[in-house]
Chains A and B, each alone.
Chain A
Amino acid sequence: MAQPVLELKQLQTYFFSAQGTRIVKAVDGVSFTLNEGGTLGIVGESGSGKTVTSMSILRLLPPAARIVGGEIWFQGENLLTKSEAEMRDLRGSQLTMILQDPMMSLNPLFTIGEQIAEPLRIHRRMRGTGLLERIKELLRGVRIPSPEVRLREYPHQMSGGMRQRIVGAIGISCEPRLLIADEPTTSLDVTIQAQYLNLLKDIQKQSRLAMIFITHNIGIVAKMCDDVGVMYAGKLVERAPVRTIFNQPAHPYTEALLHAVPSLTDRSPRLWSIEGQPPDLANPPAGCPFNPRCPKAEDRCRREVPPEFQVGENHYTRCWLWEGR
């Protein structure tokens, strides 16, 4: 049996305005389990709370945000009871993250080598030739040609794809147990994106690393993930293994998302579109947050927030349509 690396239980992260009068429930009761070597995709549109979820796991939230409820279990320990110093030991070693824009996550004033060395020096206390060898090994691992030369270069001397691979090398430098990738390929060209995703898969196979992919792209989920969580307005409205999501989507939002994307094989002249806009979380609609856009909404959906119903094996959804089925 695979061991769960990460388990979220009813996580709630709210943003509070300065006077405390307005509350935005950015993450509202999110639960999931991620096993060793598994990949979870969190899909959703902007403002659905994907990034706040990942930042809550790392406990790197802006001052206005607070985790008000729930538990985050990482390798058998609740991260919410850890001190700031203990968290710092975990971040960058056991628990790492790749961000969307590699130009923002690399420091333009330091060489590539120094930036890869930093987590190894701090967490592993590596020095000298051992450190140098490890850096070269990591660069080779992410398929950077001639690492001896490259490690003396600066981020601006590399292309976008190479920079993102270097960010990847930093991410895996201390052999983490969990890697969170937040839209890692959005700024890359398609052929480079394909290279990068294959690279991440290889790395994952070698080290049985657990990964969370935060994305708005259904295609990345289809290619990379074992399990999927669909987020809408701060809630996981559906979670299931990837094939279940694609073959039997339970939530109307998931179904609409799958049909709203043009595919290379599908020749239907029109796309399904989801009418309306995602809700404003400062002023969410009553009942199910998706009800104003949902073609199947009933009276109850406009009054009561649906709880999570089990649809099948490992398949859950928050939709009244599934009550008592």
Chain B
Amino acid sequence: MSDNLVEIRDLKKHFPVTKGLIFQETIGLVKAVDGVSYAIGAGETVGLVGESGCGKTTTMKMILMLEKPTSGSIIFRGQDIQGLAGKDLKAYRKGVQAVFQDPYSSLNPRMRVGDIIAEPLAVNEAFSRAQLKERVQALLSLVGLRPGAADLFPHEFSGGQRQRIAIARSLSLNPSLIILDEPVSALDVSIRAQIMNLLQDLQEQFSVSYLLIAHDLAAVLHLSTTIAVMYLGKIVELATSEQLRTQPLHPYAQALFSAALPSHPDEQREEIIITGEIPSPLNPPSGCRFHPRCPFAKPVCSEVEPVLKQVETGHQVACHLFTDTD
């Protein structure tokens, strides 16, 4: 499909594990991301959920060009980003922005808020000083901060306000994709709702796409249109948020639902508490990577690696329970 803003095809990132200082030899590979494909449509939110070590962050870094993929490609508006150079590369970097988890470390404490928001503009656009100031004021009001905020330093703001500043900065270049890496998990509960509502409003207004990375399933379901559930470097289930909410298929996705905390003390949920911990990605289990923890594992699961199969439109799952055993 060509109306996708970003297409990720069979993306892999393997980190070598080396031994020795001078005569380095590779003794193993950490397959942080191992063959991941999905697409982000214009104005859409794709959520990546999974626990630590599942490869969410590495995927994000590759899209931001902070890590080079081992193989696979990232197609942005029909062009592979690895082939970009010069003007095209600059345009890509302008078009893809990020908001990080911790607004205490993502804002430079020595810069005034106005300068933080103006920096991407000053670097990329030939704006006069007056134009810059005007644009900063417009961005501040967009994220619900007073115009006076431009003259203050980050430490003068609370966590939620800082996250608004980070969002204003990410919006300054009118990007088409914003990567949100755990945008609300460092914030207080009452502030989270404010920021999540703000993100939704901004998306409606600018039809910007979001790639949302989070471990809080409820928040991802709330914000996303499509969700990819990741486990140890692989997508185990890819579905619309509605499909996943009503019918999670992969045992790991079901376990995530069952492990999510109830919203009411009387809420009854099927208990699929999976045992054990996430195995090391250095030595992932053979076959299906989830099989040692899976309550429904069959003999085939430890031998053959399942691939993503479509079960209904827009709903794919990588699990032997759903492959037609011939």
Task: Give the interface of A toward B (CB within 8 A).
Answer: 45-46, 159, 161-162, 189-195, 198, 216-220, 222-223, 242-243, 246, 256-257, 259-267, 269-275, 277-278
Q: Find the A residue at minimum CB distance from B157.
A: A277
Contact of B188 (CB < 8 Å), options: A216, A264, A272: A216
Which residues of chain B are within 8 angstroms of A269 by Cβ–Cβ distance?
200
Task: Give the interface of B toward A (CB within 8 A).
Answer: 51-52, 158, 160-161, 188-194, 196-197, 200, 215-219, 221-222, 245, 255-267, 273-275, 277-278
B189 touches A45 (CB 8 A): yes
| Smallest beta-carbon distance B284→chain A, Å | 16
A264 touches B259 (CB 8 A): no
Which residues of chain A are within 8 angstroms of B215 by Cβ–Cβ distance?
189-190
* Alpha-carbon distance between A265 and B158 when the two chains are bound, in angstroms: 31
Q: Find the A residue at minimum CB distance from B274.
A: A191
A275 touches B194 (CB 8 A): yes
A264 touches B274 (CB 8 A): no
B277 touches A257 (CB 8 A): no
A264 touches B245 (CB 8 A): yes
Which residues of chain A are within 8 angstroms of B161 by Cβ–Cβ distance?
277
| Smallest beta-carbon distance B92→chain A, Å | 32
| Smallest beta-carbon distance B191→chain A, Å | 8
Q: Find the B residue at minimum CB distance from A228.
A: B265
B219 touches A277 (CB 8 A): no
Contacts A189-B52, A274-B194, A277-B161 known; list 10 others, CB within 8 Å. Answer: A217-B189, A243-B266, A257-B190, A262-B222, A263-B263, A264-B257, A265-B267, A267-B245, A272-B193, A278-B190
B261 touches A262 (CB 8 A): no
> A223-B261, A260-B189 are contacts. A273–B218 as well, Cβ < 8 Å?
no
A271 touches B196 (CB 8 A): yes
Contact of A219 (CB < 8 Å), options: B51, B158, B256, B261: B261
B261 touches A217 (CB 8 A): yes
- Which among A191, A219, A256, A271 has the highest number of chain B CB atoms within 10 Å? A191
A191 touches B189 (CB 8 A): no
Which residues of chain B are within 8 angstroms of A266 by Cβ–Cβ distance?
263
* Alpha-carbon distance between A260 and B263 when the two chains are bound, in angstroms: 11
20 example contacts (A-B, Cβ-Cβ < 8 A) are as follows: A45-B190, A159-B277, A189-B215, A190-B256, A191-B51, A191-B255, A191-B274, A192-B51, A192-B277, A198-B273, A216-B189, A222-B262, A256-B190, A262-B219, A264-B257, A265-B263, A266-B263, A270-B197, A275-B194, A277-B161
Which residues of chain B are within 8 angstroms of A220 by Cβ–Cβ distance?
261
> Lowest 6 CB-CB distances: which A-B pairs, in order?
A219-B261, A263-B263, A194-B259, A262-B222, A260-B193, A189-B51
Count, A-B residue pairs, CB within 8 A: 115
* Alpha-carbon distance between A243 and B215 when the two chains are bound, in angstroms: 27
Q: Find the B residue at minimum CB distance from A145.
A: B276
A195 touches B267 (CB 8 A): no
| Smallest beta-carbon distance B123→chain A, Å | 32
* Alpha-carbon distance between A220 and B217 when the two chains are bound, in angstroms: 15
| Smallest beta-carbon distance B200→chain A, Å | 7
Which residues of chain B are within 8 angstroms of A271 by Cβ–Cβ distance?
193, 196-197, 222
| Smallest beta-carbon distance B103→chain A, Å | 14
| Smallest beta-carbon distance B165→chain A, Å | 14
Which residues of chain B are within 8 angstroms of A223 by Cβ–Cβ distance?
261-262, 265
Which residues of chain A are within 8 angstroms of B190 by Cβ–Cβ distance?
45, 256-257, 260, 273-274, 278
* Alpha-carbon distance between A133 and B27 when the two chains are bound, in angstroms: 40
| Smallest beta-carbon distance B196→chain A, Å | 6
* Alpha-carbon distance between A277 and B145 when the two chains are bound, in angstroms: 13
Which residues of chain A are within 8 angstroms of B261 by Cβ–Cβ distance?
193, 217-220, 222-223
Which residues of chain B are within 8 angstroms of A256 by Cβ–Cβ distance?
190
> A262-B221, A264-B218 are contacts. A194–B258 as well, Cβ < 8 Å?
yes
A261 touches B263 (CB 8 A): yes
- Which among A217, A220, A222 has the highest number of chain B CB atoms within 10 Å? A222
* Alpha-carbon distance between A286 and B277 when the two chains are bound, in angstroms: 50
B189 touches A257 (CB 8 A): yes
Contact of A191 (CB < 8 Å), options: B194, B222, B259: B259
| Smallest beta-carbon distance A182→chain B, Å | 16
* Alpha-carbon distance between A216 and B217 when the two chains are bound, in angstroms: 17
* Alpha-carbon distance between A189 and B230 when the two chains are bound, in angstroms: 13
* Alpha-carbon distance between A265 and B262 when the two chains are bound, in angstroms: 10
A222 touches B273 (CB 8 A): no
Which residues of chain A are within 8 angstroms of B255 by Cβ–Cβ distance?
191
* Alpha-carbon distance between A275 and B273 when the two chains are bound, in angstroms: 37
Which residues of chain A are within 8 angstroms of B266 by Cβ–Cβ distance?
243, 246
Which residues of chain A are within 8 angstroms of B194 by Cβ–Cβ distance?
273-275
A190 touches B264 (CB 8 A): no
B259 touches A260 (CB 8 A): no
| Smallest beta-carbon distance B302→chain A, Å | 20
Which residues of chain A are within 8 angstroms of B51 by Cβ–Cβ distance?
189-192
Q: Find the A residue at minimum CB distance from B262.
A: A222
* Alpha-carbon distance between A261 and B278 when the two chains are bound, in angstroms: 27
Which residues of chain B are within 8 angstroms of A275 by Cβ–Cβ distance?
194
Which residues of chain B are within 8 angstroms of A159 by Cβ–Cβ distance?
277
- Which among B193, B200, B274 has the highest number of chain A CB atoms within 10 Å? B193
Q: Find the A residue at minimum CB distance from B277.
A: A159
* Alpha-carbon distance between A103 and B190 when the two chains are bound, in angstroms: 28
Which residues of chain B are within 8 angstroms of A278 by Cβ–Cβ distance?
188, 190
Which residues of chain B are within 8 angstroms of A274 by Cβ–Cβ distance?
190, 193-194
A195 touches B275 (CB 8 A): yes
A45 touches B274 (CB 8 A): no
Q: Find the B residue at minimum CB distance from A267.
A: B245
